[in-house]
Amino acid sequence: MAATTTTTYTPPSLPPLFTHTNPPPVLLFQGAEAHLYKTTFLTPETPAALKVRPTKAYRHEALDRRLTRQRVLHEARCLLRLVREGVRVPAVLSIDWEPSGGGGDQQQRPVGAWLLMEWIDGPAVRVVLERWEAWMKKSLSGFGQEDTAAIKEEEENRVKDLMVRIGQVVGSMHKAGIVHGDLTTSNLILRSPDLPSNQNPEQFFEMQNPKDIAESPSTTGDIYLIDFGLASSSTYDEDRAVDLYVLERAIGSTHPMTEGFFSHVLQGYSDSFKGAKSVLKKLEDVRMRGRKRSMLG
């Protein structure tokens, strides 16, 4: 039997500006299109988020350089527009792309392009809801029937309020003429005053062991939208409705205990966006198409 070999993935080199920072950048995510690091800006005490779009060895260098530059510029423009309109998103701190490396070997080619943004302290809403559901399942069984009903109502009201705030920030984004394109609870951050600023960044994005969850997580704070790599400028009700549908499906598939609270997202959306009525009508059409697609496989 032939022996199998495994290769360890090595992320691409960091942009030259970030190769000697102290502390060094910490890799948080590595996706197909980009790598996300936590780093610093100007001083070691000022955290920042660095999104690097590496080169693609399978693309012609000139095409790859043009596409990478266009995409990082488009994401930055979306963020700048939203910041101007007062939408809660990370501020753009710096942006750059590398010139031609003059060769087809990826090791000799430049980093690609990068975007440096404000670091938003706080957990992803996905993690907050996962911890909340784990706490509910673990803790409520230990109370009496009357206590359980009262605690359950109080806890659900906290999460419903969180859903309203999610809808409000999505509505403010659509009001500014931007659709997200990948609206999931992983791309919503809860910036809470109750959280320590020096918390390990990985804990913001990863679920704890349910046995270690001693109390219901905080749901107070402001909701921020992140990751605009698939965003676009649009004022079409169809595009806005698809954004909402993607969020609805994400909540339903990832957070079953909160699936019934999506109406509160739509309530917050309607409160912050005057054009919500026509978007919600279009959402019904999008839902119908989604159900037909599910039935047909």
Question: Alpha-carbon distance 143 to 34, whole Å?
Answer: 46
For 109, residues 6+ apart whose C-beta sits below 8 A from its C-beta are 55, 57, 61, 101, 103
* Cβ pair 221, 191 in contact under 8 A: yes
CB 91 within 8 A of CB 119: no
163 alpha carbon, distance to own chain's centre: 15
Q: What whole-number distance in Å separates Cα of residue 198 and Cα of residue 41? A: 16
Using CA atoms, how far residue 200 sits from 59, 86, 149, 185, 203, in Å, is: 36, 28, 35, 20, 6
Q: Which residues are catalytic?
A: 182
CA distance 125 to 223: 8
Cis amide leading into 54 (omega within 30): no
